[in-house]
Structure 1
Amino acid sequence: MPLSLLFASCLLIAALAFLLGRGKAFQSAGGDIRKLHSLPGYYGWNAALTVLLPSLLALLLWLAIQPAIIHSSVSHMIAPQTIEASSLDLVMSDVRRVAEGLDKAVEAGAMTADEAANATATGMNVRERLGSIGVALGSDVNEETLAAAQSYREMSSTGNLLRTAAVLVLALAGLAFGVTRTNKDFRARNTVERVILGLLIAAASIAILTTVGIVFSLIFNTIEFFKLYPAADFFFGLTWSPSFGGGSDLGILPLIWATLYISLIALAVSVPVGLFAAIYLSEYAAPLVRSVAKPLLEVLAGIPTIVYGLFALLTVGPLLVDVFGDNGVLHLGWMQGGTAVMTAGLVMGIMLIPFVSSLSDDIINAVPQAMRDGSLGLGATHSETVKQVILPAALPGIVGAILLAASRAIGETMIVVLGAGAAARLSLNPFDAMTTVTAKIVSQLTGDADFASPEALVAFALGMTLFVMTLGLNVIALYIVRKYREQYE
C-alpha cells in the first residue's frame, strides 16, 4: 500500500473511532449529556487519539529503521574490491537508483515483474531499458549491482507489506480498545488533556534536541579539524589560502574582518533608516498612512536573500563602479569591480531595514500613552516628547533590536557570496572585494569534499566560530533588554 494511502487509512479509522466513541458515550448515558463526566467531543477524541498515536508512531519508526536494515543487508552483497575501488555510499546509491528504475519500469509496463526480479546484466541491457522510460544511469549495470538492486527491491517490498499490516493492525486495535473502554464515567477530558500535554512536551523537546544536535555536530567536527590543523594558526593566521593538494593556510582573521566590516556598513544603513521609519510610523504618521506604509515596508523582509544578492551583483555593484571606478563620474579609481564590501553592505542594510523598523516600532508603541500625555501636558512639543521621553524609555529595546540585526547580518550568506567577492584580504578600503566566513563555508563544502582533510573540516570550525559570535550578540541583546527595560502597567 502506498504511504499516502496508508496514512489516509489511519485517518479514516481515527474518524470512525471518533464517531463510535462519541456515540457509545451517549449510549452509556442513556442520551442524557448531564450524566457524562466530560463533554461528548472528548470521548470521540480519546478514541481517535488511541488510534492515531500508536499507528503513526509505528509508521514513523518503521520509516526510520527499515532503510537502515535494508542498507546493511544489501551492502554485504557488495564485494570488498568494489568498495575499495569506489566508496560504499556511491555503490549503494547506484543500487538504489537501479532498484527504483526497475520499480518504475514495472509500473510503466516496460518490464514484467518476473523480468525485473530475474533479469541478468548479460541477458538484458538494463541501462538501455531503464533509459527508455526516463531513468538515466551514469554507467553500465554489472551483475553485482543488478543482483543487489533486485534484493533491495524484494526486501523493500516485503518491508512495505509488513509495515502496512503492522500499522493497520495497531490502528484497528486502537479503535477496539478506545471504543471498548468508553463509558459515561470514563474521564475522557483528563486523558485527552494529558495526551495533548505530552505532545506539546514532545514538540518542545524535538526543538531543543535539534539545537543540541546541531551544536554537537559542529563541536565534534571542529575537534577533528583541530587535530589536523593548529588552533593558533587558525585563529591568528593572516592568510586564507586553502588547497586540497596540501600546504594550506587557513587563517580566519581576514574572513572575520570582512564579516564585521560588511555588517558594520549594513548597520550604518539599516539602523538610521529603520529607526527613523519606526519613529515616523508610530508617532507622526496618520492611521491611513501607517496602514499602507508599514505593510509595504515589511515586504522587504519577505524578499529571498538570493534576490538581494542578484540586485547587488547586477544593479548596485555596477552603479558604484560608475561613480567610484576609474572611468566613473568622480574619476577616483577606488573601485575596480562590482563586487566589493560596500556593495554587499549597502544591499544587506536594505534587507535589514524592515527588521530594525518592525522591532523598533513595536518597542516604541509599547511605551504607555500616559507618558506621552504627561509630557505634552507639561508643555513639551511632540518632537521634544519623542526625543526626551519616548526614545529614552524605548532605548533598551531598540539597542536589543540593533544587536539582533547585527547577528542577522553576520550570518548572511547569499548577499555576500554574490556581492562581496571571493578575495580573502585585510583591507580598510570598503571598495575592495573581500569574502566572509559564511561565503567560505559554502565554498569549502562545494563539490566532492573529502571530510578527512582539514580543507573540508575547516568549514565546521568556521561555522562554530560564527555560531559563537551570533550567540554572543543574542545573549548581549537579551541581557540589555531584560536589565534596562521598563515595566509599565
Structure 2
Amino acid sequence: MTTTDTGGSGSFSSPYLDRIRTMRHVRNGKERVIEAILFVAAFCAVAVTVAIVAILLYEASTFFEHVSLVEFLTGTEWTPLFERARYGMLPLLVGTVVTSAIAFLVAGPLGFLIAMYLSEFAPPKLAEVLKPFLELLAGVPTIVYGYFALLFVTPLLQKLIPGLPGFNMLSAGLVMGLMIVPYVASIAEDAMRAVPMALREGSYAMGATRFQTAMWVVLPASFSGVMAAFVLGISRAVGETMIVAIAAGQQPNFTFDPREPAATITAYIVQVAMGDLPHGSIGYQSIFAVGLVLVVITLFFNLIGQMLRRRIREVY
C-alpha cells in the first residue's frame, strides 16, 4: 500500500500534476491567441469604418471651404459640371429618397411575406427548393438589373403611363425593390426560423391558428431580425448605383414625381469618378461631401432600427 504525502514542509509534485499544469498552460495560450485573432478582426472592422468617415470628413472639409454649408444643404440646383456651378444637393437627395422609397415599398412587404411563408407555411421540401432560387437573385449583377429596368420595365410602364420618359425614377425604384427582395426575405426568414419551436407549440396548445401564431408569437420574437432585414434592405437601396445610373438618368432634377428622370447621390459619384471633372477641383471634392451625406443617411436608418427594436422589447 502506497501513500502520498502532501503535508509537511512543502507540496508534493508528481509527473501527473506537472502534465496537468502543462496542458492548462497550453490551453490558456491557445485561448489567448484565439482572443487576439478575434480582437484584431473586430478592430479591423471598426478601423475601416473610422478610416472611411475620417477620409470623407477631411476631403469634405476642403469642399466646404469654398461652398457654403447652407447652400449645399438647401440649394435646389446641382450643376457642378457647368461653367456657372451650383452646389445645392437637394436634387440628388430627393432622387435618392424617392427611388429608395419606391424600392422599399416593393421589397419590404414582398420580402416579409416571402419570409413568413418560407418559415411558417411552406412544406420543408418546398422551402428547400424555393430559397436557393430566391437567393440566386442576389447574385445577379446590378448592371443586368439596370438594363432590365431600361429595356423591359420602362417600355412596359410606358404602355400603362402614356408620356412616361425613357429615364424615370419609377422604373429604377421598382427594379431596385425586386433586387433587394432576397436580402430582406433571407434575413427575415432566418430570424423567424430561429424562434424556439416551444413558443409555437405553446401557441397552438392555446388554440391559436398558424397565422395567429406567426403574427402574434413568431413576429414579435423575431422582430429584431426582421428590422435588421428592413434596415439592410433600405440601406442597400440607398447605396445602389448602376440601376439608377442606367434607368433613372443622370439629370439632377428637384422633383418628387417618380415619373420624372433624376440623378441620385451614387449616380453622381459614378459620373464624376469616370473623369468628368479634374482631380482636386471643387467639383471633384463634392463627391466626398455627398458621400458623407450618404453615410449620415445610412446611420439614420440604423438608429431608427435600434429605436424600434428597443420599443418592441418594452412592449413584449
Distance 2:86 2:212 in 1: 56
Q: 1:302 aligns with which of 124, 129, 139?
A: 139
Question: What residue number does 2:185 align with?
Answer: 357
Quick one: structure 1 residues 482 and 366, their matched pair in 2 at CA, closer, same or farther if it must change by over 3 Å? Answer: farther
Question: What residue number does 1:458 align with?
Answer: 286
Q: 1:444 aligns with which of 237, 261, 272?
A: 272
Could you say which structure has the greater relative contact order, defined with CA pairs below 8 angstroms and 6 or more residues apart? 2
Quick one: structure 1 residues 190 and 283, their matched pair in 2 at CA, closer, same or farther if it must change by over 3 Å? Answer: closer
Structure 1 residues 294-303 or 398-407, which shifts more? 398-407
What TM-score do you get using the length of structure 2 for normalisation?
A: 0.85
Distance 1:361 1:192 in 2: 36
Structure 1 residue 346 and structure 2 residue 170: aligned? no
Map 1:427-438 onto structure 2 (within 5 A): 427-438=255-266
Question: What residue number does 1:417 align with?
Answer: 245
Distance 2:136 2:280 in 1: 44
Structure 1 residues 212-221 or 385-394, which shifts more? 385-394
Map 1:87-486 onto structure 2 (within 5 A): 191=29, 193-243=31-81, 245=83, 247-324=84-161, 332-333=162-163, 335-337=164-166, 339-447=167-275, 449-485=277-313
Q: Which of structures 1 and 2 has the bigger CA Rg?
A: 1
Note the alpha carbon deviations across 1:406-461, whole angstroms, 9 max, x for none.
11111111111111111211223322111101111111222164344221111000
Note the alpha carbon deviations across 1:58-102, whole angstroms, 9 max, x for none.
xxxxxxxxxxxxxxxxxxxxxxxxxxxxxxxxxxxxxxxxxxxxx
Distance 1:351 1:257 in 2: 21
Distance 2:285 2:85 in 1: 13
Distance 1:220 1:244 in 2: 25
Kindly indicate whether the alpha-carbon contact (under 8 Å) linking 1:397 and 1:481 is maintained by their aligned counterparts in 2.
no
Q: Percent identity?
A: 42
Distance 1:209 1:400 in 2: 23
Distance 1:202 1:450 in 2: 38
Structure 1 residues 403-412 or 346-355, which shifts more? 403-412
Distance 1:287 1:230 in 2: 59
Q: Secondary structure at the match of 2:255?
A: coil
Q: Secondary structure at the match of 1:433?
A: coil
Q: Letter of the aligned partner of 1:204 in structure 2?
A: A
Distance 1:199 1:370 in 2: 37
Q: Secondary structure at the match of 2:131?
A: helix
Kindly indicate whether the alpha-carbon contact (under 8 Å) linking 2:95 and 2:256 is maintained by their aligned counterparts in 1.
no
Kindly indicate whether the alpha-carbon contact (under 8 Å) linking 2:172 and 2:244 is maintained by their aligned counterparts in 1.
yes
- Could you tell me how far 1:344 is from its partner in structure 2? 0.7
Distance 2:238 2:21 in 1: 56
Unaligned runs of 5+ in 2: 1-17
Note the alpha carbon deviations across 1:288-342, whole angstroms, 9 max, x for none.
1011011111111122222212222222222222332xxxxxxx32x021x2111
Kindly indicate whether the alpha-carbon contact (under 8 Å) linking 1:397 and 1:485 is maintained by their aligned counterparts in 2.
no
Kindly indicate whether the alpha-carbon contact (under 8 Å) linking 2:137 and 2:182 is maintained by their aligned counterparts in 1.
yes
**Count of residues in Structure 1 that have an aligned counterpart in Structure 2:** 300
Structure 1 residues 409-418 or 472-481, which shifts more? 472-481
Note the alpha carbon deviations across 1:170-221, whole angstroms, 9 max, x for none.
xxxxxxxxxxxxxxxxx66555554454344333333322221111110011
Q: Letter of the aligned partner of 1:322 in structure 2?
A: K
Distance 2:280 2:172 in 1: 33
- Could you tell me how far 1:392 is from its partner in structure 2? 4.1
Distance 1:358 1:250 in 2: 40
Quick one: structure 1 residues 447 and 197, their matched pair in 2 at CA, closer, same or farther if it must change by over 3 Å? Answer: same
Distance 2:142 2:215 in 1: 34
